[in-house]
């Protein structure tokens, strides 16, 4: 069974950290892992990475346009909230919409 060693250093301890890593690299089964501080938005079968601007659905990458991604992120981060047309438009396009008539497809 493997063992995990977690070490936290402050920026001033960089030299000591590098010395420990250099020593541990002499062992063939040593593996250095790092953790990302990136926030991932996840739902059942769906992962959205706002920083990487990527979406995975059931572990398959979904290709979205810039606007599609922005709308998805907006809706995902506001789960359970009702957003108005104006709020969505302003967030995605960065301006207030002109007029209030919406074209509805029925």
CATH architecture of the domain covering 41-93: Orthogonal Bundle (1.10)
Query: Rounded CA gap, 73 and 50, in Å?
Result: 7
* pLDDT value for 100: 55
Query: Rounded CA gap, 38 and 49, in Å?
Result: 8
From the list 36, 27, 35, 37, the residue with the least C-alpha distance to 2 is 27
Divide the 106 residues of the chain into consecutive groups of 10 and give the mean pLDDT of each group. 65 77 76 67 89 91 93 90 87 72 46
Q: Please calculate the CA angle 66-52-78 and round it to the nearest 5 degrees.
A: 65
Where along the chain do its domains lie?
A: 41-93
pTM: 0.56
């Amino acid at each position: 069974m493997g063992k995990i060693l977690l070490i936290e250093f402050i920026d001033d301890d960089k030299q000591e950290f590098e010395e420990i890593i250099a020593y541990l690299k002499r062992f063939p089964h040593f593996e250095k892992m790092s953790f990302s501080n990136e926030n991932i938005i996840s739902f059942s079968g769906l992962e959205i990475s706002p920083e990487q601007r990527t979406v995975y659905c059931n572990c398959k990458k979904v290709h979205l346009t810039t606007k599609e991604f922005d709308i998805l992120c907006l809706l995902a981060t506001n789960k359970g909230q009702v957003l108005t047309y104006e709020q969505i438009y302003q967030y995605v396009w960065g301006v207030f919409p002109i007029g209030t008539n919406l074209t509805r497809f029925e």
